[in-house]
Chains A and B, each alone.
Chain A
Amino acid sequence: MTLKGGATSACAACKYQRRKCIPECLLAPYFPADQTKVFQNAHKLFGVSNIVKILRSLDPSQHAEAMRSIKYQANVRDRFPVYGCLGVIRQLYYQIQMLEEEMHTVLTQLEMYRQHHHHQQQQQQHQHQHQISSMADDVISQLELGMAPSNNALPLFNQVTHQPYTMQNTYSSSDIDSPPKENVENNSLWIQHLFLDTNNHGTSNNDSPIAIQSQLLVPNSEPLADTQHQVVQDYDEIHPFFDSIDDRQSYIDTKDAEDSS
């Protein structure tokens, strides 16, 4: 019912009930005059008196949210007269169940691939270790026989020095998000070789590989970032080994130390 001056039109609720829409009308903010269908749905399901009863039981700050849910519920009931919002809920539960099943399947496949990748890496590592140890045996046997170290000793150093370079690149480029356990195992094997070499050549930093090894073997459950940081620190600690041998290695270690800090 409009005022004589035509200043404000009645809300949809008052229009439907053919009554004067007073300024204090509780439903006016939520049922504008142009939303007749929405009001009809709400009125059909709840009824005006029940809606007003709900609003009066709430704090005014909650009215907007309550009306939003009431309108939504009524509209869904209009769309689905038999099941209403319960139908929507069941549909969502079904969706969740399907998604969880699919997730389980995908995770199972991913785990299979991960294990396969892990085994491949271990095999490669074993092969590399075997190769190095066989060369080390050759040098040792030559020394025992009183022979001068052949030129092959230098390749051994080169191989050992190259190993951390390779390991580092492998670690940084492709193992960023691989499980920390894999990297810990790889690095511990590498450190064992380093320990052999330091013993053989009487360097003064015999303690550092042991410290590094024990340090690396501990954090199996730490986040990947921490493990990576530790590896970089380990590079820094064994840095003196390679200063005189490989300038490239020292450059890389220095660069990583700066990045990690």
Chain B
Amino acid sequence: MSSSSYSSSPCAACKFLRRKCMPDCIFAPYFPPEEPQKFANVHKIFGASNVSKLLNEVPPFQREDAVNSLAYEAEARLKDPVYGCVGAISVLQRQVITLQRELDATNANLFRYAYNEMPPLRPPQPPPPSAAGQSSGFCYPYQWNDPSDEDNERSSGGNM
């Protein structure tokens, strides 16, 4: 199977898929044989063919970043099958909102102090976590308005 000119070991993807690792294997640069779990996770969640298609749509100099992000999302989905990496996004978004509110209140306090010579007020307590208005209480920072026509797809910058 292997010739003398081809002595490199197959990449993790080809090893997992039990196929010959060709020189132009699209997975080889990003799934070294030393990291088998990386491809296993990605294949389990997304599938090798999907990953291959995604990588082909991305410029070569950005493929490593794309693979790393897919590996991260795959691992997150395996750890949390319900929310995956979106859970982390929700937590961070809440943190941003809380910090922004505290900062606004502290800035208002500083303004009072600096310009009115009044003692500062206490910053407001952060609001308790509430699921009001959302079925899960999750905070999705980017809203996706599903376009029913093509025009929306082009201008779907929207909130993103």
Contact = CB atoms under 8 A, between A and B. Distances in A.
Determine if chain A interacts with chain B.
yes
Interface of A: 34-35, 37-38, 44-47, 49-50, 54, 57-58, 62, 64-66, 68-73, 75-77, 79, 81-89, 92-93, 95-96, 99-100, 102-103, 106-107, 109-110, 113-114, 117, 174-178
The B contact surface, by secondary structure, is helix
A58 B120 contact: no
Interface stretch (B5-13, B23-31, B33-41, B47-55): B47-55
A82 B50 contact: no
A79 B160 contact: yes
Nearest to A182: B119
B113 A113 contact: yes
Nearest to A107: B106
Interface residues of B, number: 61
B70 to A, nearest CB: 7
Contacts of A64: 135
Contacts of B47: 46-47, 49-50
Nearest to B84: A69
A22 to B, nearest CB: 23
The A contact surface, by secondary structure, is helix
Contact of B141 (A38, A65, A88, A110): A88
B62 A72 contact: no
B46 interface: yes
B69 A37 contact: no
Given A37-B153, A50-B47, A65 B142 contact: no
A117 B120 CA distance: 10
B146 A37 contact: yes
B119 A106 contact: no
A37 B102 CA distance: 39
Interface string B80-110: 0111111111001101100110110011011
A85 B86 contact: yes
Contacts of A99: 96, 99-100, 103
A81 B122 contact: no
A89 B88 contact: yes
B3 to A, nearest CB: 35
Contacts of B138: 65, 68-69
Nearest to A69: B86
A82 B146 contact: no
Nearest to B94: A92
B113 A50 contact: no
Nearest to A39: B146
Nearest to B148: A34
Given A47-B47, A50-B46, A87-B69, A106 B82 contact: no
